[in-house]
Amino acid sequence: MPRAYAPPPAAPRGFPYPSNAFAVHGLRLAPSRAFPDRIPAPPGGRAHVTEDPRDLDIEQGVLRALEVLARGRELTDELGQPISPYEKERHAGLRASGLAGVQARLRPHLRRDHPWTAQAQDLVDRLAVEERYWWGVSGRRQA
């Protein structure tokens, strides 16, 4: 007799690399075209620039910063819907806090040797400018 529900989907191959806790183990499992027998890059992700799982933090941080900055200064929510005038200050504060979080994600990596360090420094500066703008819109100007 047929079942009334579909079987669970097959688990995708991949490995969500931890950032710091298992760095030594992750180094041995780093994806590489030179070593095809290793576990592939995470599904939906991409191969690392430097083949080091510890660099995944800075690479994801740079990509997230580019996404946040591409959003622009238009006052819309996460779904692209316009914000009501009564919610303007709250959403501006949320946007400023999010920009501060992306900066905090990138700052520890600015002292490291990575091909994207210069780009990350430029992004942190641009994020700081945007953060000051959004704090001004929210009415809570930061010193």
The whole-chain average pLDDT of the chain stands at 77
Tell me the pLDDT tens digit for each residue of 53-101. Answer: 667 888 888 889 998 999 888 888 888 889 998 999 999 999 999 999 9
Residue 102 pLDDT exceeds 60: yes
pLDDT band at 121 (very low <50, low <70, confident <90, very high): very high
pLDDT at 112: 83
Residue 15 pLDDT exceeds 60: no
Going from N- to C-terminal start, the domains of the chain cover 49-138
DSSP letters for 30-92: ---SS-TTSPPPPTTS---SSS-GGGHHHHHHHHHHHHHHHT-S--B-TTSPBPPGGGHHHHH
pLDDT at 12: 57
pLDDT at 43: 45
pLDDT at 115: 82
Mean pLDDT, residues 29-40 taken together: 54
pLDDT at 114: 81
